Structure 1
C-alpha cells in the first residue's frame, strides 16, 4: 500500500468506503458465502458424502438456492462493476479510449491472477474467466441497451443448447455400467503438489473459456445493462423491477432446481442417466434466473438497512452485520483467494486430506467458518482503512502509467 505522501501512479482517485453504495458490496460479500459452499463440496472426492439427515437437508438447501446460482450472481455484479469503472475513468477526465485501456489491462492482470490461482490452488477458477471476458468483450460497454439484452439472450440460448448437446452426448456415449470417476477433476485426487499443479494447468486452460462462454457471459452482459441504470446504487427508483426480479428469479431457480436437489440430497432415488442429466441441465440453466433474483433480493435488503441507518438512533446489529459483509464484498478478490488457500490446506491430499473422507455437512461447516473468518478480517481491515491486498495489487497494476486529463497532481 502506498504511503500518503507518495503520488499515485494513476489519475483515478480511490473511492472512500463511505462513498460506496451498500448493495453491490453486500451482494458480493454474501455471494462469497455461496462460492465457499460450492467450492468446499467440489473438493470432496469420494462418493459417501451423504451419511445423515443433516447432510441431506444441507445438500437440498444448497442445491436449490446456491449451486449454479453463485457464479451467475457474481457475473452480474462483475458486469455491473465494469460500468462503474468506466464511469470513474470518464469522470476523471478520460474518454472511451482511456476506459478501454484501463479495463483491458485489468482484464489481462485478472487473467494472470486467475492462472496463478488455477495452477496453484483451484482449477475451476472464475477470476480468469472474468479477465478473459474483459479482454474479449469490453466493446459491449459501448453497445446500445437493446444490443446488450439481445446478445445476452442469444448467448444464453446458444450456451443452453451446447450444454444440452454435450451433456446428453456424454450419456449416450458412455459404456454400459460405467459410472465414471468420483471426481471429474483429476488434480483433486493427485497426491503430489507439483503433479497436481501440472494437471491444474491443463484443467484451467480448458475450464476458463468454457466457463466464460457457457456460464458467465449472459449475466455479465445483463450486469452491464443494469450498471448503466444504476439499479443497485439507486434501488428506491427501481423498486417494482427489483421486487419482480427477486420473486420471479428466485421462484424459477427454486422450482426448476427442486427435482435435481431432491435427487442430489438422496431424498429421491437416482433416475436413469438421461433423466438425471436432464434434471441437472434444467437446474443449472435456472441459475441464470436465480443469480439476478439473489442480486435483487440483497439490494432490497441493503435498501432497508440503509434507510434504517439514516433514521434517528438507526443502524443497530443488522446494520453492523451488513457493513461487515459488505466489507468482504469490497475485498472480494482477496477473500476469494483466501478461501482457496484454506480449502486446499484442509481438503487436498497434500494438505490435511479431508476431501477423501469429509461428509457434506463437514464441508459446509468448513465453508461457513472460512467465510466467517473472512468477514471478521475484512471488517477489521475496514476499521483500519485498509484495502484488500489483492485489490491493492490489481489496482496498482491496472492503473500503472495511466494519466487522465484534469486529474494529474490533484489526488493523493
Structure 2
C-alpha cells in the first residue's frame, strides 16, 4: 500500500495498513460468537434443561460441535497476534521494550475497564476484561523465545482446559433448573457482578494458550502474509477443523441429552471438547486466511463488509450484547422463553448480519467503530487518535 500522508501513533495501524485475513477472520467468527451466545442465553432462560424436540436437539449438537469453544480461542489468538505486531512495529521504529510494555499494559488496563462495564451493563460472559488481564499479566511473553512460548502454551492448554471442564461441570450441576437472567435490571446487574469472579478466571486460564500461539504466529506473518504460509495454513485447516468437530461431538451429545453420561464422563468429554476447540478455532482462522490469500486485492462486497465488521469487532461484539438484552431479557422482549432453541439461534444469525451491515455503512462513511476509537484514544491519547483516524479515512472509503 502507498504510504499515508499523516503518521499514526507508534504501534497503531491505519486502515491502509490493515491486512485482510485477520479482519475477515474476526468478521466471520463473530457469527460463531453470536450463534453460541444466543444458544447459551436460551438454554439459561430454560433453566439449563436439555432441548426438547428433534430440531432443537440437532441445533444444540451442531452449535456445540462446530461453534461453542471454537470462536473465543481464535479471538484470543488474534489478540496475541495483534500485540506481537505492535511490539514488532515499535521495535522496528527504535522504541525500547519498557516503553512498548507500558503501552501494551495501558491498553490492557482500558480493556479491563471496558470489560467490567460490559459485564455489569450487558453480558455475564465478557471476554474484554480477560484480554485486558492477559495484556497486563503476560506482556512479558512477547520477548520470550519460541520454545518458551510453545512449552508454556502446552502447559496452559492441558491444565487450563482440565480445570475449566471440572469446574464447569460442577457449576452446571449446581445451577441446573435455575435461570441465570433475572426479571429486574438491577438484580440482573447484581447477578452478573457476582458471576464475574467465577467466570473470568475460567476464561483467563483457557485463553492463555491461544494468546501465546497468536504471538508465535505473528512472528512468522502467518495471517498478514498468508500467501507465504499456504502450506502451514492448509495443514492447520485440514487437521484442525475435523479435530474440533469430532472432539466436540461427545460433549455435544451429552449436553443435548442424547447421551446420558455420568459426572466423570461428562467432565472428560468437556475436557476433550475444550482441548479440541483450540484446534477448531485455529483451523477456522487458517481456512479464512487461505480464502483471503486467494482473493488478494479482488475482494467483493461481501468480503469487504465482513472485513469491515472484523475491523470494528469490538463495537460489533458490544452491539451483540445490547441485542441480547433487548431480545432475551425478561424486562425487555423476553423472547428467550417464547421461542425454541432453533429460532433463538436464527436470531443470533440475524443480530450478526445487522452488525455486518452497520459496519459496512461506517466503512463507507470513513468512520471507525466507536469502541475502537475510544480504546485508541485512551491508549494513545486524543492527538494521536485523531491523526490515526485521518490517515485511515481514504482507505475506509474505497
Q: One fold, TM greater than 0.5?
A: yes
2:226/2:293 contact within 8 Å kept: yes
* Structure 1 residues 21-32: aligned runs within 5 Å: 21-32=19-30
Counterparts in 2 of 1:241 and 1:197: CA distance versus 1, 3 Å:
same
- Post-superposition offset of 1:361: 1.0
1:388 maps to 2:369:
yes
Which residue matches 1:4?
none
> Is the 1:11–1:92 contact (alpha carbons within 8 Å) kept by the matching residues of 2?
no
Partner secondary structure for residue 296 of structure 2: helix
1:108 aligns with 2:103: no
1:286 partner SS: helix
Alignment partner of 1:203 is 2:201: no
Alignment match of 1:277 (pick from 253, 267, 274): 267
**Residues 1:166 and 1:58: Cα distance change in structure 2 (over 3 Å):** closer
Find the aligned partners of 2:271 and 2:315 in 1 and give their Cα distance. 31
Alignment RMSD: 2.7
Q: Match of 1:189, SS? A: coil
Q: Give the Cα–Cα distance (whole angstroms) in 1 for the partners of residues 22 and 391 of structure 2.
A: 25
Q: Give me the whole-angstrom Cα distance separating, in 2, the residues matched to 1:411 and 1:379.
A: 18
Q: 1:189 aligns with which of 170, 181, 188?
A: 181
Deviation at 1:322? Answer: 1.1
Mapped to 1, the partners of 2:115 and 2:81 lie a distance apart of 20
Q: Report if the CA contact (8 A) 2:165-2:274 is conserved.
A: no
Give TM-score scaled by structure 2 length.
0.88
Structure 2 unmatched runs, 5+: 1-5, 393-398
> What's the CA shift for 1:180?
4.4
**Deviation at 1:162?**
2.6
The answer to whether the Cα contact below 8 Å between 1:36 and 1:371 also exists between their aligned partners in 2 is yes
Partner of 1:217: 208
Question: Are residue 260 (structure 1) and residue 251 (structure 2) matched?
Answer: yes
Q: Report the equivalent of 2:335.
A: 354
The structure whose Rg is larger is: 1
Alignment CA distance shift 1:228-1:283 (3 Å): same
Q: Which residue of 2 aligns with 1:236?
A: 227
When normalised by structure 1's length, the TM-score is 0.85
CA distance, structure 2, for counterparts of residue 235 and residue 117 of structure 1: 34
Task: Verify: 1:374 aligned to 2:355, yes or no.
Answer: yes
User: 1:158 — aligned with what?
Assistant: 159
Distance 1:161-1:62 versus aligned 2 partners, 3 A rule = closer
* Alpha-carbon distance in 2 for matches of 1:166, 1:41: 21
- Counterpart of 1:312 in structure 2 is none
- Quick one: distance in 2 between partners of 1:40 and 1:118? 16
The answer to whether residue 290 in structure 2 is matched with residue 300 in structure 1 is yes
For residues 98-137 of structure 1, what are the structure 2 equivalents within 5 Å? Answer: 98-137=99-138
Pairwise mapping of residues 316-355 of structure 1 onto structure 2 (< 5 A)?
319-355=300-336
What number of residue pairs does the alignment pair up? Answer: 381
Alpha-carbon deviation of 1:402? 9.3
Gapped runs of 5+ residues in structure 1?
1-6, 310-314
